[in-house]
Amino acid sequence: MMSLPSVQNTMLLFQLSLDNSSELDDGFVFDIHPSLLVDCRKLIIGEKIGEGGYSSVYKGWYENCPVAIKVILPEKTNDATPEECKASFQKEVNLLSRIQHENVIKFIGASVEPMMIITELLEGGSLYKNMKRIHPITFSLEQCLSYALDISQAMEYLHANGIIHRDLKPDNLLLTKNNDHVKVADLGLARENICNLMTSEIGTYRYMAPEVNILIYLPRGAKICYDHKADVYSFAITLWSLIKNETPFKEKQGIIAAYGARRNIRPSLAEFPEEIITLLESCWDKNPKLRPEFKEITEILISILFDLYTAKINALASIKPICTDRVDFEIEEESSNVQHTTASLVSTVENETLGPDGGAEAVNSLILDESRDQSGSQAESQSGTQTPFHDLGIPEFCIHQVWIVGLAFKGSI
């Protein structure tokens, strides 16, 4: 006999299957390899954690491993026919199954009835939700660039394999459990870069490259000419949004923002570091041919991060109290004080006329008093010389380098 959760899960799968098949009897035949399909009997569907244009995302378990389950619901949209939804689902499954990169969400399997895509569960949530959670506070520049490096490396991999994302934005970037890394997700609008003719006005207006959006009316699904450099533009707007923790062109409607981008209007770069300004301006250049490839962007980000961390490590190393000769001198002085204290105690005990218990009490009293004096001096000394690493904003993985700098100082002073 099935447990109550199993019964509920079976009923939900059955309902999803009915929803998928209600209007989809269009003769479409899926071209998905059987090895990519999961056994739905091993799938447990939990709470809903997200929603898209024509899909819902649930937390779940597959073979006792936590997963994310994207359920395709064609009846939720008027922008695509059931056949187009099936074709899009098939394309996403086949693309995801080919991708293996640490900064792209991991594909686990799919189901045709109902249409579902099962991926790893990233418990950190979307980058957009995390930005909204801390607003108006911003992430540190180092953290923003670290996330940007993850994104750039993922996009470099996708482009090298002939895949264009076409909807790069904070909503489609997911954080790992401890918020250490970002992974690119939601390849529902992605396509292979076989030719330059692709669907116009696809993606999200605020992050859409100007060549993707057009100023004249075309029928839905019309093809225009653009390439993988559209992702580079979207990356630049995403990085700007991440650093500022703001929605780009927030005072404008999405389609108006897209038209503004077509007229070469870009977000303000006031107060941005010079090296970041140079990067953003090159990535959102109106001419796609002048935008850098993601391989170049990755190299630039690594260089900027290296300079930032080197400057912080040098700042820590230059703190004067870290001088080792001074520390050695204080240790020797402390040792001398201890020897002097011991001699004084022995002399005091020898010169006192002590009763049966008075000697022990006298010695204990002297030791305690001396210990308090020593502790107080030591605490004052420490409070004047110690500087916490985190006050300088240096990440955990960089702290070990500080000790190397310290050893270098000891050898050079």
> Is the distance from CB of 270 to CB of 320 less than 8 angstroms?
no
CA–CA gap between residue 147 and residue 144 (Å, rounded): 5
C-alpha distances out from residue 234 to 11, 225, 241, Å: 41, 17, 11
Report CA torsion sign: 93, 97, 102, 103.
Answer: negative
> Is the distance from CB of 188 to CB of 110 less than 8 angstroms?
no
Taking alpha carbons only, the member of 206, 183, 168, 169 closest to residue 125 is 183
> Is the distance from CB of 76 to CB of 65 less than 8 angstroms?
no
Residue type, 296: E
Ramachandran region of residue 175, left (φ > 0), alpha (ψ -120 to 50) or beta?
A: beta
> Is the distance from CB of 85 to CB of 54 less than 8 angstroms?
yes
Joined tokens for residue 315: 């700042």
Beta strands in 26-162 (DSSP E): 43-51, 55-62, 65-72, 107-111, 116-120
CA–CA gap between residue 60 and residue 66 (Å, rounded): 6
Looking at 19, 26, 31, 167, which residue is catalytic? 167
Report CA torsion sign: 62, 66, 67, 69.
Answer: positive
CA–CA gap between residue 248 and residue 207 (Å, rounded): 8
**63, exposed or middle or buried, with CB in 10 Å at 0-12, 13-18, 19+?**
exposed
CA–CA gap between residue 254 and residue 258 (Å, rounded): 6
Question: Is 70 assigned to a binding site?
Answer: yes
- Whether 167 is a known active-site residue: answer yes
Residue ranges for the known binding site are 70
Q: What amino acid positions are annotated as catalytic residues?
A: 167
Residue ranges for the known binding site for ATP are 70
